Structure 1
Amino acid sequence: MKHTIVIGAGQSGASLVAKLRALGDTGAITLIGAERLPPYQRPPLSKAYLLGEMPLERLFLRPEAFYAEQNIALRMGQTVDAVDTAAKTVRLGDEVLAYTDLVLTTGSVPRRLPASIGGALTGVFTLRDLADVDAMQPYFVAGKRVVIVGGGYIGLEGAAVAAKLGLDVTVVEMAPRILQRVASAETSDFFRDLHRAHGVKIIEATGLERLIGGDHVTAARLTDGRELPADFVIVGVGITPATDLAQASGIALDNGIATDALGRTSAPHVWAAGDCASFPTPAGRMRLESVPNAIDQAECVAANLLGANKDYVPEPWFWSDQYDIKLQIAGLNTGYDHIATRRTEGAVSFWYYKGPQLLAVDAMNDPRAFMVAKRLLAMGKSPEPALVANPETELKALLK
């Protein structure tokens, strides 16, 4: 009997099994996840859920009953110990399951601070899954002091929640500016000003030397000698693809689990999708860390499992919510050499160009700019930067 096993019950795994059933797959489907809860959304963890504005039940991607109704076997709170690609089996403890197709949607894991510099002290958290947020939530009390190591989007979202709840917040970024790896200086300036206006202290071009404390963290010592008192610390220094299982199984890696354009790995009948997977594009091999990619790539792989033979062509977009600002990003800004800035009442967007070619847009409280930019990128159109920057330009006209 046909049996598709999916390892990893995050956004990608949940999307894949649902799409299989929607496309008419009548074979057996098993979804295996290490967490005990059914698949849930992660983006609200560092925003609405942490603020106490979203109950646990609203995090779930689908009601638990959906999986039973669709005859999808949920194996939650279980870890796959090994994959045998020759025998086409997976092992969970003493149990061995056979598959006809296996999909790895193992996601990513947060980078942690080494224990040698205090990373193992209590009161030091990453912000990745529900257990992380539930563990740190009791510390989110007005007047508490939090040091956030890392000025990327995750760190800044945590800073925004902490500031809104009245905590004393300091963000420490080793690079010359926050968001340096992912955004322009203009976007960095915008969010630096936003956070400082809400009382957040931002220290740039300064690293963390170590965390101080007996059992519990009490301070962070920086590379310039300063010591910042801390009731707790959030570490937001990036993520890495979860590839241990694939590597142990002899599956080829290349910035994640290497797949072809269809989503197939180097092992027969083994596929991958989501944060853990890298795939070929005309610009080179790529791995995207985003919810839209996790969904779209998983649904493409689901179709290919049923014979669609369809290449995955990403349309990258991302978002971040901080205070009353919604940042929406369309495209990838890699290689940009100039920026066109568009300002209208209550909104600003930064348009990234490489020569005459539009690459990406960061839109702050400007959903129209985001939607138009997304369509322009999909159409391969690049409007003149001067037109974009002119607030009198009707953006929709650029689509004609």
Structure 2
Amino acid sequence: MDIQREIAATPLWRKYWYVPVVALMVLATYQFKSVMGNASFIVEENKLVTATVQKGNFRVNVRATGVLKPLNIRWVSSQVSGRVEQAFVKAGALVEAGDILMQLSNPELRRELEKARWEFEAKKAENHAAFVALESQLVDLENSVVEAEYSYQSSKLKLDAETQLFEQKNGAVSALDYQRSQLAVKQQMQYWLSQQQKVEKMKANLAATKKAQQARLGLVENNYQRVKDQVAALSVLATTSGVVQQVSLELGEQAQVGASVALIADQHSLYAELQVQEMKVSDIQIGQSVVIDTRSNEIFGTVSRIDPAVNAGMVQVDINITSELPNEARPDLTVDGLIEVSNIKETLYVKRPVFAPRYSKAGLFKVDSDKQFARKQQVKLGQSSVNQIQILSGLSVGDTVIISDTSNYQEHQEVMIN
């Protein structure tokens, strides 16, 4: 037979179990909303860096690093080839113009000097012998002129006497003898004149020969002097006063003609070479004031040159130093430079936030007065300095903004500071 089963009634708590859960969720949401407000993200206060907006004169500076360089620098090179026999200076030595830096040796060059010297002496002796021979010939010709003059004068005296007798017509002198005497005078006169011409020609020849011999002797002497100068150049001398920055050769090395021997710089006249980021160099102009930090002292200068080329994202800017150099200043000393680009009067500015480029719009989190919440504010940024940036709009004097990294909650409009 069939047994009738009794159906048990379902308890209410099982039927409506979700009601208290929903109620608790609503209560929790209400409590969370009352605490969080409109904030959708929580940040820890100890991880935040804030800054207050200020108003005043805003100095726009560009920071750059670089080194000090000498204005007067000179490479000393070898004028001859030779092996380094002795080095008299090292890097850092103070030298004067004319000091010996290095001694080279070249035996072949010294043998060539000895040969050139003997050639010069031989040529001088040859020239002297040739001059003596020509002068002896000139003396002989001059003696011939004197003899010809005496012969002419003798013939002239005889002709004068015969002329007186011939004019008396007493027959003491025949017409034939008288004519012979006249002819003899003419011959002696012509001979005397020809001898004088020979003397003049000889003098001209002697002068031309002397000039030619002197030219040949000068050629030999120049060769001798050239080799002599080359031997003297084996002693490499400092061409200017200063501090030796670098010595390029060591003992025993072979130096070639034109090879660099040493680098000498004037340590009392320096300038700074700063490397500026290409994005910032557009604000820099010739003549702007610069403060150079040597880590121990500050020196002052002005922008003197801006390189037109960009190298690895950097532009070289030369600084002319106008103040007195401190004791630690020396070539290749690493320095920091602060270039004053402009000075904006009475403007808003704040410490530069992370990821806030100049002349842009950025969402900065403005902290409430109770420092419990921070809301994103669209801010228009202007000129930037090393650590500060100009505020064009969006903030007021006294506003506090977060300047640390906000990339983790940048998409949120409001955050809670815990």
Scaled to the shorter chain, the TM-score interval is: under 0.3
- Give the TM-score, by structure 2 length: 0.18
Of the two, which has the highest radius of gyration?
2
Q: Which has the higher helix share?
A: 2
- Give the TM-score, by structure 1 length: 0.19
* Bigger RCO of structures 1 and 2 (CA < 8 A, at least 6 apart): 2
Q: Which has the higher strand share?
A: 2
